Each structure stands twice: as structure tokens, then as C-alpha cells.
Structure 1
């Protein structure tokens, strides 16, 4: 007689487990941003500054329009943050080579250093969690994170992995 394999365990889809996941995301995000928040506060910056610094560092010569697509904020909000980062010497703007109206962004040496400081504690936190959880859990985490994201952003990670 053939044994029937049970289907996926539906227990993790119960209300309590879903609410627990929401709480875990909250606490993880709070702790993940805590150290960078302290560094940013010394500079008079907030999390919006951190996101701009991070993505400009991750994608040197990123256009303002591409940054707006990533951050999903208004031009006005980005302009306020970006103006301050340019004025204080963390980011430089270059004209596009084909379209002179295009603004391309790059971190200065000062910007590279602050991005390194902001990212290091987060990098260590993730590295520790990955080591403790193991490779299978890391793949599961990646799958869950991709599942939480809206579909258009999932493709960014396929391109990064392939390229």
C-alpha cells in the first residue's frame, strides 16, 4: 500500500502565526535600523537620508528618476533630502551624457565613509543571523522577502543574481 504524503502544513497560515510574523518584522526592523539611526541623528539626518545614501552607494551614477522609482517617494521629498546631502558634501550630481537634463548621483569620499558606517552594523547583524540560521533558512528567508515585495521589485534581485 502506498503512503500518502501530507500536504503543506497550514499551521503557519493561522491568524496567530501571521500576527507573530508582523510583530517579528517590526522588532527586526527596529533593531536593524537602531544603530544607523544613532549615527544619522548625530548628523541631523533621518532614515530618508539613509535610504538615499545607501542606494546611491549601491548604484553609483544612478539617475534621480531611477532613485525615485526605488524609493517610491515624491520628487519634493527627494529634493529636500538630496539638496541637504549635496550641500553637506555626501553626494555629487553629474549631468547625463546623452540627456543633459538628467542628473546622475554619486557618493563623495565623505559619502562613501558614512555609507560604510551605516551599513556595517546592519551587515554584521545579517551575517550573524545567516550563520546561525543556515543555508536552507537563508533561502527560505529570501523566498519570504521576495514574496512580501511587490512584483516589479522582485525582478531587481533576479537581475542582480544573474549579472
Structure 2
């Protein structure tokens, strides 16, 4: 019976796919709404949020690693990091092995802001996961992973495996 269900998924109509795409747009809008409100009150945007999130996930990450994960230009990331450093949210340290590298860490204030942003998103996601149930959650994760480009899936898998 599982084969019948999987075969049906291969033949999704364009309208079903359009609806899924729209659902993703609206879900993303909801997912970012609370952090956007918090950030706008402080003069920050989503790029600042993404930088804080990934610096928190991998303390000591390099600027080059963050560039690869975020997929932004060096100029754009430098602008974001400069603001976060000047505002006392991120500490940029020169590498001990390679003095050309800068290693990024959140300060206490950066940790507090990242926690506030993540709490808002965790609460929204926790509520959605509870309402959808465990089977839907597993399927949701599988779909997201399959949508990732291979290089991004590698970054995601590396981060996930680091949690164990």
C-alpha cells in the first residue's frame, strides 16, 4: 500500500504543486514574522538573524564558512558582521593557526538576542509539529532535505551530526 501512495506522489498535478509552493511562501512568512518584529525594533534584518543563528550553532566559525552557508557576497556579509560587532553582539577573533582567518563568536548580548529570535521560531514550529503529528513531522523533514542543493544538504547534515 505504501507503494501506491508513493506512486501517487509522482503524479502531482501542477495545481497541487502550485498550492504547495504557496503554502511554503505563507508558512515562511509566518515563520519569519515574529523574528522580523524583534529585529526591526533593533534596526536589524533577516541577514543579521541568519548570521546570529549560524554563529550560535557553530561558535568559532570562520567568515569563509559563514559565507558558504549563507550564500551571500563577502561585501554583504561584511556589512552585516560589522554592524553586529560594533553593536557588541558578535566577537571577531583572529585565528591562532591562520592569522588571516576571523573566527566568530556571539557575545552575551548576542546570545540573548539569538535566544529571543529562536524561541519565537521554536514556539511556532513546536505548535505546528504538535498539530500535524509525528508522521507529518518526519515527512516534512524529508521533503525539506530533498529540496536542498547537495552542498547545502552537506552543511545541514554536518550541523545535524554535530548535535549528537
When the two structures are aligned, how many residues end up with a matched partner?
159
Which consecutive unaligned segments of at least 5 residues does structure 1 have? none
Which consecutive unaligned segments of at least 5 residues does structure 2 have? none
Question: Could you say which structure has the larger radius of gyration?
Answer: 1
| Superposed displacement of residue 136, structure 1 | 1.4
Contact between 1:130 and 1:138, CA under 8 Å: does it hold in 2?
Answer: yes
Cα gap change, 1:133/1:12 in structure 2, threshold over 3 Å: closer, same or farther? farther
Cα gap change, 1:127/1:13 in structure 2, threshold over 3 Å: closer, same or farther? same
Q: Secondary structure at the match of 2:18?
A: helix
Task: Please report the TM-score for the alignment, with normalisation by the length of structure 1.
Answer: 0.91
| Superposed displacement of residue 159, structure 1 | 3.3
Contact between 1:56 and 1:105, CA under 8 Å: does it hold in 2?
Answer: yes
Runs of 4+ in structure 1 deviating by more than 6 angstroms, as ranges, are none
Contact between 2:69 and 2:155, CA under 8 Å: does it hold in 1?
Answer: no
Contact between 1:90 and 1:111, CA under 8 Å: does it hold in 2?
Answer: yes
Matches within 5 A, 1:74-93: 74-93=73-92
Would you say 1:137 and 2:118 are equivalent positions? no
| Superposed displacement of residue 156, structure 1 | 3.0
Matches within 5 A, 1:98-113: 98-113=97-112
Matches within 5 A, 1:19-58: 19-58=18-57
Q: Deviations over 1:59-82 (max 9, x none)?
A: 111100000000000000001110
Cα gap change, 1:91/1:12 in structure 2, threshold over 3 Å: closer, same or farther? farther
